[in-house]
Structure 1
Amino acid sequence: MKNILTGLIKHQAIKYGDREAVATLQGDEWTPVSWRRMDSDTDTLAAALCSLGVEPGERIGIFSANRMEMLNVDFAAYAVRAVPIAIYSTSSQQQVGYIVDDASIRLLFAGTRQQYELARRLMTDGSTTTLRHIVTFDEVETDPDDTTSMTFARLMEIGRESAARYSREVEKRTREAQPDDIATIIYTSGTTGESKGAVLTHACFTAAIEIHRERLDMLSECDSSVCFLPLCHIFERAWTYFCLYTGIPVAINNDPNRIQQTLRERHPTCMCSVPRFWEKVYTVIESKMADMNPLRRFIARRAQKVGRRRNLDYDRLGLRAPRLLELRYKFYDRLVFTPLQRVIGVERGNIFPTAGAPLSPAITEFFHCCGINVLIGYGLSETTATVACFPRVGYEIGTVGTPIPRVQVKIGPENEILVKGPTVMTGYYRKPEATKEAFTADGWLRTGDAGRIDSTGAIILTDRLKDLFKTSNGKYIAPQAIESRLGEDKYIDQAAVIGDRRKFVSALIVPAFGELRRYAEAHGIAADDNVALVADPRIYSFYEERLARLLDDMAPHEHIKRFTLLPQPFTMESGELTNTLKVKRRAVAERYAEEIERMYV
């Protein structure tokens, strides 16, 4: 197969027929979509795109939260050699307008009424000169003066009506598809600076999929997955493509707040996620263990010790555990681990790839002890996701694993991780200067991440180079390492470490208010108002003691000397988080400038 993505759905429809390819949520019920149906819809939509005059190489926008139709558009676009570009559903009008103009998007698919209205404003207020057509996935009533928009259902009708006319054109374009055709452009979420579009060719995705089949050989068509992260993000998009290629059915979770319910309904054997997901699961488990009676808590802790010895000292290294240890592990598996996994919804778990930010080694170890294979990895939009991940055997906790096959990694000046390989982007769309800066003279991609390679060949990340800062005393600080440690605490929901050119390190901390209220009520502290709660000196002292314990083994200059408890969380809507829940440091520093200054008075 020259381009895996171009003919993927048709190839799998021939192989699997009426077997489930994707499951979508209709009300409270999961509805399966067969490979045959998915292939038919792809053909219909491809004909519809031709009828709208979509040309090879034309960029098509998809502005929506996760849903089945996004995959329909992707694969129909690949069939006619168009370029689908996904835009986060939470993006502002300015952000959408920037991408639409930068990529010269003429046709935009919008998910809901809200996204339709934002796209219409772009057209009516002159924010964009390129957008001409909007297609809404929902049955949206268009504006009275809107003569160019239509629903997805109507577009599919057009496709069915024009199928005979355009079928040969679709087949011709599919045959003519080339590896160096642009598959998609991934716009960086932009923790700092202007968003840039990483150009990923079909060759990048073909290589990525084939490489992952080698590395993730523990997966097969017998597995099942949940699409949880935004499909706009390269991690989820590449993962979902890989699952479809492998024949793994994918349940599309369309509401991030529903993920726990989805897991318990679908029982996936695999799912990609960001560390924030596992941090939240960990703090819930720790909280429940704290509420156990002494006997149950003793049993749970004993189970962890047995799980650690069996899974990390033996299974991790590909060694067979001693018979007595194996028997003890099976006992605790039935008594503790399987019930725990069932509560989460991962009792059938195989692997759970996790990347996008650091996950505390302590949390990673905890889940492995419990038989939940959180597979740590590292990658970028610019590398079609994965650069490195845990191998099946011999992974090292505290690393992000070893480089995947045919992807080269080396350490450059300032300990920057440099990457070369077939999955690396061709450059940033229409940004030659930015592209030039992104590569070394001999063609290595500058990742912007600092790290080192250990004796086993595994990569140890230290921090983003742009995030690293130096105190006024000349001490370098890696804020993500400190924030990762804080993420282990059940009373801390979010944290942003401060200290660039300052005398000492400080932090803005968002408490986990559910846990904090329980503590406050147990200690006679009024807990019905967040503002009053975080201002209470007793609460400050409580966090002061916890921070001291959490950071006890870190260097003195890395300790948080002062901190501010915030009454509200960082959010995407307020611009303080990226769409993958990473802190936008510049935005946080600007919004909380007064609070930060008070910590240094």
Structure 2
Amino acid sequence: MSESYLSTLIERQAGKYGVRAALKYRDYKQGVWIPVSWNQFAGKVKKVARALVALGVEVQENVGVFSQNMPECLYTDFGAFKSRIVTIPLYATSSESQVHYIVENASIRYLFVGEQYQYDVAYRVQQLCKTLKRIIIFSPDVMRAAEDTHSIYYDDFLQLGEANELQAEVDRRTGAAVSTDLANILYTSGTTGESKGVMLHHSCYEAAFQAHNKVLLTLTDQDVVMNFLPFTHVFERAWSYYCLTKGCLLCINLYPQDIQMTIKEIRPTAMCSVPRFWEKVYAGVHEKINEASGLKKSLMLDALKTGREHNIDYLMNGKTPPPMLHLKYKFYEKTIYSVLKKTIGIERGNFFPTAGAAVSKQIEEFVHSVGVNMVVGYGLTETTATVSLGWMDDFRTGSVGRLIPGLELKFGEDGEILLRGETVTKGYYKKEALTSKVISEDGWFHTGDAGYMKDGFLYLTDRIKDLFKTSNGKYIAPQAIETKLVVDRYIDQVSIIADQRKFVSALIVPEYKQVEKYAQDHHIAYADRADLLKKPEIIALFQMRIDTLQQEFAHYEQIKKFTLLPEPFSLEKGELTNTLKIKRPVLMKNYANEINKMYEE
């Protein structure tokens, strides 16, 4: 494809599907889901393309989209592509300094914002920024500042696109659009240092679509897809664009915290998510099992055991399950598994892509055991998401699947994964030195992830730069330990401390509800949460659970001391990235006292 595929995608699909629903979004005032047809979608895209031209946005100029997931994000993206304009998404939770940095770095003149928080932040940034000319507001409920005479609402912006004489310029631009045009710049929040803008050209997306067409064979225009992760995240963005190429119905979840309600309202057939979603499901199911007794409890436990034998021990290893095991599995499929899926809202499930962090083997085995097609993959912003994935009948627990077609892989020093192919970024925006550091002259991108191949499946071992070296010279992979611990129902978040220390310690955020319930069941009196977490019985409970979970690790890798924290790690305190990964340098600073205390003689 030499012309730009995304610039005409929505128009082509409207020609094919017409009045059929392309999108759905939840109207919170009425509590109903509103459909948007392909024709309406294409009409909005056309108006956006014209309105951007009316504002004087030039070919390949950057515009920003600072919003949670809304249909307007997609109208703006595809309208921009139609007029050869680059969109830069910003996380809805971004701080003022993050927004300021991106707006200045990318010379953004026009910034689209979602709701009140984003508008307030953008308006404050505008006072400090030389470049930001105008804010365009998606939600009509946003209250503008009294002195703000420049910002306009999205409906007024679309009015600018009513003029027919603008169409000739839009057509000229669409006709000239090529796959070497820049589509997006995605600023990665990063667990260290300032964010960097990953440039993704139209050719990156086109190569990704072609590769996925060879692998995701069951995704069709009959699929109902829930958009749960932020569109700003490359995983959700590339996946959503791909779903639109297949004619799927996209159901846009506005607030991430509402997913347990909205998933039951939509009952999607597919949804991409991070392991955290499945960890919560796992914890919920095991809580139910622990509360049950007698026959009910033994049936639930046997159902998990049967599913594991049938789907993991036999099917995953290419073996046919014995007839009796198969009959038993079918019985549980009609009873326990179907009830479980219905409770979550995924009983119509086709498949569920999962990536963004390490998936613990325990979680993966559990999800497959109950007959949910979890597709575990690995990808980066720099590779337009997917590098590898394990397909439904071709996966290995613990691996991140097989490499997608069209991508080359080799291993560098320390087992570092190096990649080359059309989906790989051409580099970081305005950061030539960094680009040449991570992409070699012959096109190999250094991922910073270590791994190995076995029987055609890729396995990750850890982030190379995340490897800790103890003062005894031993290397520790913190993520391996954290992934193991976070499946425990008493543990919500964990961060391993080991770098330049004489032993491994941990900061642990407990699952407070479970700990409080334990205290109640064991008649442990306490004044408040901080007091509860200091009780010897609670410390002993955690010690016992940690000792059990870390048995497989070498002695020097095991946690010797830990601190239970009364407050969770948070975005507000800068302890998490926008994709909820832990920022270790910030934790080291924020919890310096607690950490030092663990190493006192």
With the shorter chain as reference, the TM-score category is over 0.9
> Is residue 556 from structure 1 mapped to residue 524 from structure 2 by the alignment?
no
* SS of equivalent to 2:433: helix
Aligned to 1:75: 78
Partner Cα separation in structure 2 for residue 196 and residue 75 of structure 1? 24
Compute the TM-score of the two structures, normalised by the length of structure 1.
Answer: 0.97
- Letter of the 2:591 partner, please give it: Y
* SS of equivalent to 1:427: coil
Aligned to 2:250: 250
* SS of equivalent to 1:405: coil
* SS of equivalent to 1:41: helix
- Letter of the 1:121 partner, please give it: R
Alignment of 1:254-273 (within 5 A): 254-273=254-273
Aligned to 1:146: 148
Do 1:274 and 1:580's aligned partners in 2 also have CA atoms closer than 8 Å?
A: no
* SS of equivalent to 1:31: strand
Greater Cα offset, 324-333 or 412-421:
324-333
Partner Cα separation in structure 1 for residue 168 and residue 568 of structure 2? 54
Residue-by-residue CA offset, 1:301-354 (whole Å, 9 max, x unaligned): 211222122222343355554443322211011111000011111111111111
Do 1:85 and 1:185's aligned partners in 2 also have CA atoms closer than 8 Å?
A: yes
- Letter of the 2:34 partner, please give it: T
Alignment of 1:465-480 (within 5 A): 465-480=464-479
Partner Cα separation in structure 2 for residue 514 and residue 256 of structure 1? 21
Do 2:267 and 2:346's aligned partners in 1 also have CA atoms closer than 8 Å?
A: yes
Q: How much has 1:281 moved relative to structure 2?
A: 1.2
Aligned to 1:300: 300
Do 1:276 and 1:581's aligned partners in 2 also have CA atoms closer than 8 Å?
A: no
> Is residue 208 from structure 1 mapped to residue 211 from structure 2 by the alignment?
no
Q: How much has 1:263 moved relative to structure 2?
A: 1.1
- Letter of the 1:173 partner, please give it: R
> Is residue 90 from structure 1 mapped to residue 89 from structure 2 by the alignment?
no
Greater Cα offset, 180-189 or 323-332:
323-332
Aligned to 1:31: 34
Partner Cα separation in structure 2 for residue 567 and residue 217 of structure 1? 47
> Is residue 595 from structure 1 mapped to residue 594 from structure 2 by the alignment?
yes
Partner Cα separation in structure 1 for residue 318 and residue 451 of structure 2? 27
Q: How much has 1:430 moved relative to structure 2?
A: 0.5
Do 1:521 and 1:527's aligned partners in 2 also have CA atoms closer than 8 Å?
A: no
Partner Cα separation in structure 2 for residue 563 and residue 382 of structure 1? 35
Q: How much has 1:113 moved relative to structure 2?
A: 2.1
Q: How much has 1:133 moved relative to structure 2?
A: 0.6
Q: How much has 1:213 moved relative to structure 2?
A: 1.4
Q: How much has 1:393 moved relative to structure 2?
A: 2.9
Aligned to 1:129: 130
- Letter of the 2:487 partner, please give it: E
Aligned to 2:389: 389
Aligned to 1:450: 450
> Is residue 43 from structure 1 mapped to residue 46 from structure 2 by the alignment?
yes
Residue-by-residue CA offset, 1:538-569 (whole Å, 9 max, x unaligned): 11111011100011121111111000000010
Partner Cα separation in structure 2 for residue 344 and residue 142 of structure 1? 39
Residue-by-residue CA offset, 1:455-502 (whole Å, 9 max, x unaligned): x12111111111111111111100000000011100000000001011
Greater Cα offset, 139-148 or 250-259:
139-148
Do 1:142 and 1:150's aligned partners in 2 also have CA atoms closer than 8 Å?
A: no
Q: CA 1:166/1:320 → structure 2, altered by over 3 Å: closer, same or farther? A: farther
Do 2:5 and 2:179's aligned partners in 1 also have CA atoms closer than 8 Å?
A: no
Residue-by-residue CA offset, 1:141-167 (whole Å, 9 max, x unaligned): 43333232100011112222x2x1111
Partner Cα separation in structure 2 for residue 320 and residue 240 of structure 1? 36
- Letter of the 2:39 partner, please give it: R
Do 1:279 and 1:488's aligned partners in 2 also have CA atoms closer than 8 Å?
A: yes
Aligned to 1:463: 462
Q: CA 1:527/1:384 → structure 2, altered by over 3 Å: closer, same or farther? A: farther
Aligned to 1:507: 506
Do 1:200 and 1:426's aligned partners in 2 also have CA atoms closer than 8 Å?
A: yes
> Is residue 166 from structure 1 mapped to residue 182 from structure 2 by the alignment?
no
Aligned to 2:7: 6
Do 1:378 and 1:389's aligned partners in 2 also have CA atoms closer than 8 Å?
A: yes
Alignment of 1:191-340 (within 5 A): 191-317=191-317, 320-340=320-340
- Letter of the 2:85 partner, please give it: A
Partner Cα separation in structure 2 for residue 424 and residue 396 of structure 1? 25
* SS of equivalent to 1:554: coil
Partner Cα separation in structure 2 for residue 295 and residue 4 of structure 1? 57
Partner Cα separation in structure 2 for residue 6 and residue 509 of structure 1? 47
Partner Cα separation in structure 2 for residue 594 and residue 354 of structure 1? 36
* SS of equivalent to 2:33: strand
Alignment of 1:94-105 (within 5 A): 94-105=97-108
Greater Cα offset, 98-107 or 534-543:
534-543
- Letter of the 2:66 partner, please give it: F
* SS of equivalent to 1:466: helix
Partner Cα separation in structure 2 for residue 117 and residue 519 of structure 1? 43
* SS of equivalent to 1:366: helix
Partner Cα separation in structure 2 for residue 214 and residue 442 of structure 1? 27
Aligned to 1:55: 58
* SS of equivalent to 1:165: helix
Do 1:5 and 1:75's aligned partners in 2 also have CA atoms closer than 8 Å?
A: yes
Q: How much has 1:402 moved relative to structure 2?
A: 1.0
- Letter of the 1:592 partner, please give it: Y
Partner Cα separation in structure 2 for residue 19 and residue 74 of structure 1? 21
Aligned to 1:353: 353
Do 2:289 and 2:301's aligned partners in 1 also have CA atoms closer than 8 Å?
A: no
Partner Cα separation in structure 2 for residue 114 and residue 328 of structure 1? 52
Where does the alignment leave 5 or more consecutive residues of structure 2 unmatched? none
Partner Cα separation in structure 1 for residue 543 and residue 494 of structure 2? 14
Partner Cα separation in structure 1 for residue 283 and residue 409 of structure 2? 34
> Is residue 157 from structure 1 mapped to residue 159 from structure 2 by the alignment?
yes
- Letter of the 1:57 partner, please give it: Q
Q: CA 1:528/1:375 → structure 2, altered by over 3 Å: closer, same or farther? A: farther
Residue-by-residue CA offset, 1:507-561 (whole Å, 9 max, x unaligned): 0000001111111110112366211111212111110111000111211111110
Partner Cα separation in structure 2 for residue 192 and residue 388 of structure 1? 25
Aligned to 1:434: 434
RMSD value, Cα: 1.3
- Letter of the 1:144 partner, please give it: A
Greater Cα offset, 435-444 or 548-557:
435-444
Partner Cα separation in structure 1 for residue 326 and residue 222 of structure 2? 26
Do 1:358 and 1:484's aligned partners in 2 also have CA atoms closer than 8 Å?
A: yes
Compute the TM-score of the two structures, normalised by the length of structure 2.
Answer: 0.97
Partner Cα separation in structure 2 for residue 440 and residue 85 of structure 1? 26
Do 1:506 and 1:560's aligned partners in 2 also have CA atoms closer than 8 Å?
A: yes
Q: CA 1:278/1:528 → structure 2, altered by over 3 Å: closer, same or farther? A: farther
* SS of equivalent to 2:59: coil
Do 2:184 and 2:199's aligned partners in 1 also have CA atoms closer than 8 Å?
A: yes
Partner Cα separation in structure 2 for residue 294 and residue 503 of structure 1? 47
* SS of equivalent to 2:157: helix
Aligned to 1:541: 540
Do 1:20 and 1:35's aligned partners in 2 also have CA atoms closer than 8 Å?
A: yes
Q: CA 1:526/1:174 → structure 2, altered by over 3 Å: closer, same or farther? A: farther
* SS of equivalent to 1:581: coil
Aligned to 2:122: 119
Q: How much has 1:8 moved relative to structure 2?
A: 1.0
Q: How much has 1:392 moved relative to structure 2?
A: 3.6
Do 1:186 and 1:234's aligned partners in 2 also have CA atoms closer than 8 Å?
A: yes
